[in-house]
Amino acid sequence: MASNAKLPSRLHHTAYVARDLEATRRFYEDLIGLPLMATWCEIDELFGAERVYCHVFFELGDGGALAFFKFARPEDEALFGPLMPASPFHHIALKVDAESQQGIESRLRAAGYMEPQMYVLEHGYCRSVYITDPNGMILEFTLDHPEVENIGRMKRETAHAELKRWLAGDHTSNNTFR
C-alpha cells in the first residue's frame, strides 16, 4: 500500500438480512444496548424486480452501524438471505470497554443465553464474549488487553515476517499472551 494512501476512516455500516425484525430489534437494542437509529421503508427496482423492504440501523459508538434488511415478500427473502454460515470463524467483532462487556454478558445471561449460543474466550491479547443473534450471525464483543498499544506496535513490526513463516509451513503459535 502506498504510504500516502488514506485509509477508510471507520465502518459506515455492515448489512445482513434479518429473519424477524422485532426479534432483531429486541436483541440489539434491549440486550446488547445498541440504539435503533434509523428505519428506512423502501420500494426499489433492484436486480430485475421491484423489491419492498425495511432497512434498520443500530448505532455503534463511533457513528457506524449494524444494519438489517427485511423483505416484504418471502421469495425476496429466500433469494437474498439470511444465509449465515454456522462457523465461529465468520463473525463481526466489536470493541467494547470492560463495563460494556460486563453489561452485555450480564444481560445475555439474564435473558437465558448460555453455551453454545454464548461463550467467552480468553485470547490473552483480548477477552471476547461471543453470541449468536436471532438471525444466526455470530458477534464478538472484544475487550482489549491493557497493553494493546504495545502489542499492536509489536505485531505491526513482525506481521509480514510472521505471515511468511506460517505460509512456509512453520505453524508454531506466536501468541505469547496466553
Q: What pLDDT does residue 21 have?
A: 93
Cross-strand bridge partners of residue 127: 122, 143
The sign of the torsion formed by the CA atoms of 103, 134, 119, 15 equals: negative
Going from N- to C-terminal start, the domains of the chain cover 1-83
Q: Please answer whether residues 137 and 92 qualify as being in contact, where contact means their C-beta atoms are separated by less than 8 angstroms.
A: yes
Mean pLDDT by 10 residues, the chain (178 residues): 69 89 95 94 90 93 92 91 71 92 95 89 91 90 91 90 90 86
How far, in Å, CA of 45 to CA of 52, rounded?
9
How far, in Å, CA of 109 to CA of 34, rounded?
17
Eight-class DSSP state of 33: -
How far, in Å, CA of 13 to CA of 10, rounded?
9
1-83, superfamily in CATH? 2,3-Dihydroxybiphenyl 1,2-Dioxygenase, domain 1 (3.10.180.10)
Q: What pLDDT does residue 36 have?
A: 95
Q: Please answer whether residues 101 and 141 qualify as being in contact, where contact means their C-beta atoms are separated by less than 8 angstroms.
A: yes
Look up residue 175 and give its three cell numbers.
Answer: 501468541
What number of helices (H) and strands (E) belong to the chain? 4, 8
Q: What pLDDT does residue 104 have?
A: 95
Helix (H, G, I), strand (E, B) or coil at 56: strand
Q: What pLDDT does residue 84 have?
A: 66
How far, in Å, CA of 15 to CA of 178, rounded?
33
H helices of 10-147, in order, are: 21-25, 74-80, 98-110
Phi/psi at 69 (nearest 5 deg)?
Answer: -100, 145
Q: What pLDDT does residue 85 have?
A: 65
Q: What pLDDT does residue 109 have?
A: 94
